[in-house]
Every structure is written in structure tokens, then in C-alpha cells.
Amino acid sequence: MSLKDLIVNDRPISVSFEFSPPKTDEAEASLWTAIKRLEPLQPAFVSVTYGAGGSTRERTHATVKRIVEETSLEPAAHLTCVAASRSEIDEIVQGYWGAGIRHIVALRGDMPGMEGPYQAHPDGYRSTPELIAGIRRIAPFEVSVSFYPERHPDSPNHHHDVELLKAKVDAGASRALGQFSFDNEATARFRDDAARAGVAVPIVPGVMPTTAFRGVERMASRCGASIPAWLSRAYDGLDDDVESRRIVAAAVLADQVQQLRGLGFDQYHFYTLNQANLSYAACRLLGLTPKDLS
Ligand SMILES: Cc1cc2nc3c(=O)[nH]c(=O)nc-3n(C[C@H](O)[C@H](O)[C@H](O)COP(=O)(O)OP(=O)(O)OC[C@H]3O[C@@H](n4cnc5c(N)ncnc54)[C@H](O)[C@@H]3O)c2cc1C
């Protein structure tokens, strides 16, 4: 698909943006600048992550609550099974419903500090499908979940990943958000295999801007995403040259959404890293135009 066909395209499109709860006043100001810049693009929802082991419980709650109160956006709160009993998690879920949150991104999560193999809390939800069922018992939340185009590090194989997504959907999930991946063919393969296995929910690629390339490499090594040799080569020698990294990242992102659109994807989940510019530009290339909210 050419850049022109990407921008001028009649197929409906929908995007979502992921943010992390800020740690400082300065980070909070920067997050809100990003949220306000992206709001006119009218994303389907914006999601707010939950720190490993529940370490951002209060900050995640405060951020989604402020999004409900101060914007036209629909927030989705991430929630993991880690380091909490069922009753503690149920209390958080009830708090979200009371605060007007209607969408949860339900996850297994990782051990605090990514230390050691995953171990379910003795009184906790033991898996993501169990967590989803627990959430849906409390209230009719919309539930999104993860999928891994290149296999989760704890998964024995691709078939297991597809079957696990099916179990999550059977438990009540209605959308799968992809771990970031630069292997667009793998993402399309996952979508097609999931459809063949009877998974009938949107499979949404996760798109990660690469300006902070060394950080992206670190994240990739933890989550099972591969870094292609051509991408490393593009960033080679640019560690101290942020301006060139920004230009490379914009080109990489434009190429990726172009390829994904060509593969038939009409929904995208952007890992914004709390910065608006690249995600905003990619949405413009996908043909989205901002709405005047005044
Ligand atoms: C869209 C998205 C958003 C995310 N948001 C957050 C976030 O906000 N906070 C955060 O901390 N992390 C987040 N993560 C990262 C995620 O928590 C980790 O990747 C985690 O390792 C897996 O969680 P999951 O829900 O994807 O796992 P699942 O897809 O449920 O499972 C992953 C693998 O673990 C296996 N598994 C399940 N239970 C066990 C067990 N008891 N023992 C061993 N293996 C088991 C499964 O069989 C499967 O192979 C996010 C990931 C994605 C893709």
C-alpha cells in the first residue's frame, strides 16, 4: 500500500493509546500534554498501565479517574493478578466501577522486579481467564487482553498462545491487544490462526515508537519480541543523536502502519510512552483527522 493509499482510504479505522501513570508532578504535566494532544483524534479508548506487583495501584486509579472527569476519552485500567488476593483484586475492580471506569485490560502480570518465574498468589486469581471471569462477575466491564505475535517467553508454543487467547475470550474478553512486534507477518499469522481457532474478537497490533531505541531493545528482550537486524542497523551510532533517532523512528513507524494496513489491520494500539508526537503523526498517516473539541 502506498503512502497516498494509506492516508486516503475508505476503510474505517480505530486507534487506542497506552499511557503509564506518572511518578512526579513534572511527568504528570507531560502526560496531560500528551493526552490533550491525542484527544481530538477520538481514540476508541486510552489505557493506563498497572505497575508490576500493583506498585502503581493508586496512581493508575488516579489517572483513569482524572481521564473520566476531565476528558471525552474512555479510559481502560490495566490490572494484573500478581501479588494480591482475589478479595483485594475484587475491591480494586469494584472501585473502578464506582469511579465510572467501564473497561479493564486484564493481565497475568510479572513478578515484582521481574524476579524469578511467575507464581500465582496463594489466594489470588491463578490465570488471566480466571481474572476475567472474576471481573465480569462483579460488573459488565468491557475486558481487553494481551496476545503475543512472537510467543510469550513462558509459553511452550504458538498453539498454546492461540488456545490461551481463546480461553480469555470464552471468559469474557472482547479485544486482544498485541505486545509490540516489528514482525508484521507474525502478527497477521496470529490473527489468522486465532480466527481459525474460533476467536472472533478484534486482534489489534501493538505499535511501539522506537526513538528510545536502547530502551526498546531492553523491553524486547524481556517480552519475547525480536529486534530485526535492519532496525538495529538504522540506529547504529545514533545513541547521542536524538534528532536523527526521531527521524528514523518516524520513518520506521510510518513503514510499519503502512505494512499493517496492507495486511488488513484496521485497529491499532499505540504504546505512546507518554509522548504524543509520533503516535499523533502515525494516526495522521493512517488518515485520521482531529476533531474540533471546543
Ligand atoms: C497490551 C499489554 C499490556 C500490558 N500491560 C501491563 C501492565 O499494565 N502491567 C504489567 O505489569 N504488565 C503489563 N503487560 C505485560 C504482561 O503483564 C507480561 O507480559 C506478563 O508476563 C504476561 O501477562 P499476560 O496477561 O500477557 O499473560 P497471559 O497471556 O495470560 O499468559 C502468558 C503466559 O504465561 C503462562 N502462565 C500463566 N499462568 C502461569 C503460571 N501460573 N505459571 C507459569 N506460566 C503461566 C501462560 O500459559 C502463557 O503462556 C502488558 C502486556 C501487553 C501485551
Q: Is the pLDDT of residue 53 over 80?
A: no
Q: Report the residue among 15, 96, 108 best suited for mutation to probe ligand 1: largest number of ligand atoms under 8 A from its CB.
A: 108
Q: Is the pLDDT of residue 147 over 90?
A: yes
Question: For the whole model, what pTM was predicted?
Answer: 0.97
Asked, for residue 294, whether it belongs to a domain, the answer is: no
Tens of pLDDT, residue by residue over 82-99, are 989 999 999 999 999 999
What sign for the dihedral angle of Cα 35, 37, 40, 45?
negative
Residue 85: per-residue pLDDT: 96
Residue 105: per-residue pLDDT: 98
Q: Is the pLDDT of residue 56 over 90?
A: no
Asked, for residue 290, whether it belongs to a domain, the answer is: no
Which atom of ligand 1 lies at the shortest distance from residue 82's CA? 11
Which residue range forms the structural domain that includes residue 73? Answer: 3-285
The DSSP 8-state label assigned to residue 161 in this structure reads H
Residue 277 and residue 250: Cα distance in Å, rounded?
9
Average pLDDT over residues 105-134: 93
Find the 81 Cα to ligand 1 centroid distance in Å. Answer: 9
103-107 and 142-147 strand pairing: parallel
Residue 195 and residue 120: Cα distance in Å, rounded?
30
> 206 — phi, psi (to 5°)?
-95, 125
**Per-residue confidence band for 52, with pLDDT thresholds at 50, 70 and 90:** confident
Measuring from each residue's beta carbon to the nearest atom of ligand 1, which residues come in under 6 Å?
49-50, 52, 78, 80, 105, 107-110, 118, 120, 126-128, 146, 152, 154-155, 160, 164, 177, 179, 206, 223
- Quote the number of domains for the chain: 1
- CATH number for the domain harbouring residue 211: 3.20.20.220
Q: How far is CA 18 from the centre of its chain?
A: 5
First to last CA, the chain: 35
Q: Report the residue among 60, 146, 165 best suited for mutation to probe ligand 1: largest number of ligand atoms under 8 A from its CB.
A: 146
For the chain, the average pLDDT equals: 96
What sign for the dihedral angle of Cα 251, 255, 257, 258?
positive
Asked, for residue 224, whether it belongs to a domain, the answer is: yes
Q: Is the pLDDT of residue 156 over 80?
A: yes
Residue 130 and residue 98: Cα distance in Å, rounded?
22
Residue 116: per-residue pLDDT: 81
Q: Is the pLDDT of residue 113 over 90?
A: no
Residue 115: per-residue pLDDT: 80
The helix (run of H) or strand (run of E) holding residue 78 is strand 75-80
Average pLDDT over residues 11-28: 96
Asked, for residue 292, whether it belongs to a domain, the answer is: no
Tell me the catalytic residues: 18
Which atom of ligand 1 lies at the shortest distance from residue 52's CA? 11
Residue 126: per-residue pLDDT: 96
Which atom of ligand 1 lies at the shortest distance from residue 53's CA? 11
Q: How many residues does the chain have?
A: 294
Average pLDDT over residues 207-212: 98
Q: Is the pLDDT of residue 1 over 90?
A: no
Residue 269: per-residue pLDDT: 98
Residue 87: per-residue pLDDT: 97
Asked, for residue 256, whether it belongs to a domain, the answer is: yes
> Quick check: 51 and 84 in contact, CB under 8 A?
no
Nearest residue by C-alpha to atom 20 in ligand 1? 109
